[in-house]
A and B are shown apart, each in its own frame.
Chain A
Amino acid sequence: MNQEAIRDKLISRFGQESIVGTVPFRDQITVTVVKEKIREVCLFLRDDPDLDFSFLSFVGGVDRYPDKPRFEVVYQLYSLKHNHRFRVKTMLEEPEKGMPTVDSVTDIWPTANWHERETAEMYGMVFSGHPDPRKLLLPDHWDCHPLRKDFPIEGTDADTPELPKGGKTEVLSS
């Protein structure tokens, strides 16, 4: 199926209230889904025989600071059977307290496990229902989200210390 047909199929199935935006760019279409519906849309994309997106290429994040809503989660899909690709994303508001939350798709595509762990630690998101919500790449003693736009590129001693506090070694002040 081509990109327009996939988009039309999604809109006819879920309606304008769930598919809140479509952006065509260079023969690719990006579809924006409300975050409450993302699991439903993903299940449909995987299980519908005409779409059959059996393979999740990646899950990633975008920080659009200072725009609102601030965060995006992007899902890049591929169908091994039909050899077509599609991109779905969802927008997340930054709550006043805590971190933005979106449903995990790990039980739909198991490969989302590590992708979501990386996105979660880099952007400070919570993927609810994730089976293993530990950090993936960053040291365990860091409490920061380096790919957020308001993160200083060189880090700080408080956010990104080289060694855990109370360890055997620490940097000399000289």
Chain B
Amino acid sequence: MGIERHLNDTVHVTNLEWFVNWARKSSMWPLGFGLACCALEMIATFVSRYDLSRFGMEVARPSPRQADLMIVSGTCSKKMLPAVLRIYEQMTEPKWVIAMGACACTGGIYKNYAVVQGIDRYLPVDVYIPGCPPRPEALLDGILQLHAKVMKEQSIRNPRVHRIKGTRV
């Protein structure tokens, strides 16, 4: 019996934090880049059969400045690492990271001198998706997990710090 009834369903009253989170998760634009074979499964997730646009995510941005989500899709070699870190630094906040596949999570089968043993040694990973490579359903599930996580964030009261590990703000 408050303002909701008085405004006759034309205005929705909500918690500002909830609204901010909802806006962020409903149009989370991923960065369009792939590192290895997992990228093919990511591409399959984008196109019509699995149709990522159902979740407001069909716009893969070629520019990191317009992207919210970095999907580290595949093996990150040590030579590639500086480029990945630089792309992450160029993304505007808020930004999230998904480690897709065994290699991005832990280095996978590549326990050798050339491969970074898990991208979480540098980037603050939000969701880990196991698999070699993960099927598009697994990526979709990981993205929905990330959406659920975003909805729980204290985006106004306690905004999270996005930074590469080992760096000072």
Contacts and interface: CB of A to CB of B under 8 A. Distances in A.
Contact of B114 (A146, A152, A167, A170): A146
Contact of A155 (B85, B113, B167): B113
A150 to B, nearest CB: 13
Interface in A136-174: 137-139, 144, 146, 151-155, 159-163, 167-172
B85 A169 contact: yes
Interface stretch (B2-10, B36-44, B74-82): B74-82
A172 B114 contact: no
Interface of A: 137-139, 144, 146, 151-155, 159-163, 167-172
Contacts of B81: 162-163
Contacts of A169: 85, 122, 164-167
Interface of B: 78-79, 81-82, 85, 111-114, 116, 121-122, 164-167
A9 to B, nearest CB: 42
B117 to A, nearest CB: 9
B113 A162 contact: no
Contacts of B116: 162
Contacts of A160: 78, 113-114
Nearest to A140: B79
Nearest to A174: B165
Nearest to A152: B113
Nearest to A151: B113
B122 A159 contact: no
Contacts of A161: 78
A89 B64 CA distance: 48
Given A162-B81, A163-B82, 5 more contacts: A146-B114, A154-B112, A155-B112, A169-B165, A169-B167
B2 to A, nearest CB: 50
Contacts of B167: 168-169
B120 to A, nearest CB: 11
Contacts of B82: 163, 167
